[in-house]
């Protein structure tokens, strides 16, 4: 039962679609009608600028962090700043937040791709594994300038690293499965990016189109 409750709590936080509201407030637009059509920080940055993109990124990080710790506090969860009995309450809350971000009911289930939320969840679960993931992912991004490649690399590396250190840290099998589900969800949401990468038409971040 706690799993369902945590998913609902997380989904409520995730539905706070910052990119959509920032688009309305700062640009008087529906961000989903411009650029890539995605309600996330990358598209917001490209359409409305770095300031708007930074606000969206920070807000999306914070909403999943809030979902994680509220669920953990309610159900005795564990994490980077908590000592509890299980990582599951927070991870279910974080998964719910990613689902709410990606599929907000009041926007016709058209939201973002959940990467900023996933990065926030990584930090909550274990900051050490997250830090290693961030550094490697950022280095990958710097070598090619593709946000999608860096994002997907981090989405894949974190559950793999968590699996490797599972015996030492004790995430548990169900938690590892959930982290891989988040990875699969990220790849599904980036399927158009993957196709553009294969076609050689994916845009590099910070590079203007000719």
Other Cβ atoms less than 10 A from the Cβ of 115: the count is 25
In a domain, 99, yes or no: yes
Measured in degrees and rounded to the nearest 5, phi and psi for residue 79 equal: 170, -170
Mean pLDDT along residues 34-47: 91
Residue 27: per-residue pLDDT: 84
- 208 in a structural domain: no
Residue 207 pLDDT > 90? no
Could you list the residue range(s) of the whole structural domain that residue 84 is in?
2-199
Asked if residue 27 lies in contact with residue 49, where contact means CB atoms within 8 angstroms, the answer is: no
Is 74 among the domain residues? yes
**Assigned domain for 205 exists:** no
What's the pLDDT score for residue 109? 94
Mean pLDDT of 152-177: 95
Residue 205: its pLDDT value, please?
A: 81
User: If 0-12 CB within 10 Å is exposed, 13-18 middle and 19+ buried, where does residue 67 land?
Assistant: buried
**27-31, 101-105, 120-124, 130-134 — which is least confidently predicted?**
27-31
Does 204 map to a domain?
A: no
The answer to whether residue 53 is domain-embedded is yes
Res 70 pLDDT > 90:
yes
Average pLDDT estimate for 79-101: 95
Could you give phi then psi for residue 15, rounded to 5 degrees?
-70, -10
pLDDT per position as a tens digit, 100-120: 999 999 999 999 999 999 999
In the chain, the number of structural domains is: 1
pLDDT band at 152 (very low <50, low <70, confident <90, very high): very high
The answer to the question of residue 98 being in a domain is yes
The answer to whether residue 36 sits within a structural domain is: yes
CA distance 144 to 147: 9
């Amino acid at each position: 039962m706690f799993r369902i409750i945590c998913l609902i709590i997380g989904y409520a936080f995730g539905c706070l679609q910052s990119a959509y509201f920032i688009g309305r407030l700062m640009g008087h637009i529906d961000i989903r009608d411009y650029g890539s059509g995605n309600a996330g920080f990358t598209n917001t940055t490209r359409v409305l600028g770095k300031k708007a993109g930074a606000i969206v990124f920070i807000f999306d990080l914070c909403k999943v962090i809030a979902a994680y710790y509220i669920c953990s506090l309610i159900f005795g969860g564990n994490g980077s700043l908590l000592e509890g009995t299980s990582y599951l309450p927070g991870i279910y809350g974080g998964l719910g937040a990613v689902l709410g971000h990606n599929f907000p009911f009041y926007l016709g289930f058209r939201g973002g791709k959940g990467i900023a939320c996933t990065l926030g969840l990584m930090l909550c679960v274990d900051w050490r594994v997250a830090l290693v993931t961030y550094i490697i992912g950022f280095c990958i991004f710097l070598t090619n300038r593709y946000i999608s490649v860096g994002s997907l690399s981090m989405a894949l590396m974190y559950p793999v690293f968590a699996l490797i250190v599972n015996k030492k840290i004790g995430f548990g099998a169900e938690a590892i499965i959930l982290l891989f589900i988040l990875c699969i969800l990220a790849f599904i949401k980036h399927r158009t990016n993957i196709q553009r990468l294969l076609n050689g038409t994916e845009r590099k971040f910070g590079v203007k189109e000719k």
